Amino acid sequence: MTPEWHKEHEEAFMIAQNEAKGYFHRCPKCKNWVCDNDWNEQEGLCVDCAPRVNVEVAAAKGRKMVQDIEAKSQETTIFNGEIESKQTICPNCGKPAGQGKFCNNCGTPLSMIKCAKCGAKNQAGARFCGECGSNLV
């Protein structure tokens, strides 16, 4: 390669460097070259030396939100049991009675029967006390 070739390419390289410098900034603190995305224009420093306040506030809020969510999840009780579906059958008509105090089909009261002998509560329609065996009829 000739000296003319070197000189020509060296000049082209210098021109390219000067053009590229327009897109980069040299941080006066750390001396690193950074692009516009990593340059804090307000402070005249790279974002490593002078982070953007709004970006740091948003990041801190995000970290705090994650911490709060994780803390709340640690306090949360998770149900692991099984749910049984039970129906109340009317002691009078034998049909599903519903959720109320009276049968949906025939109107029979579904309240518990109190045993006169021991005071235990027994299911409506029971003939004998489940606690002491006394006759409830």
In a domain, 101, yes or no: yes
Whether residue 24 is found in the same domain as residue 70: yes
Mean pLDDT split into 10-residue runs, the chain, 137 residues: 78 85 91 94 95 94 96 87 81 87 88 90 86 91
pLDDT of residue 22: 81
Using H for helix, E for strand and C for coil, what is the string for 69-116?
HHHHHHHCCCCCCCCCCCCCECCCCCCECCCCCECCCCCCECCCEECC
In a domain, 29, yes or no: yes
CB atoms closer than 10 angstroms to residue 25? 19
Whether residue 50 is found in the same domain as residue 97: no
Tokens found for residue 92 = 């009078």
In a domain, 10, yes or no: no
Domain limits for position 26: 18-74
This prediction's pTM = 0.39
Whether residue 110 is found in the same domain as residue 69: no
In a domain, 45, yes or no: yes
pLDDT of residue 44: 95
Number of domains in the chain: 2
In a domain, 33, yes or no: yes
In a domain, 4, yes or no: no
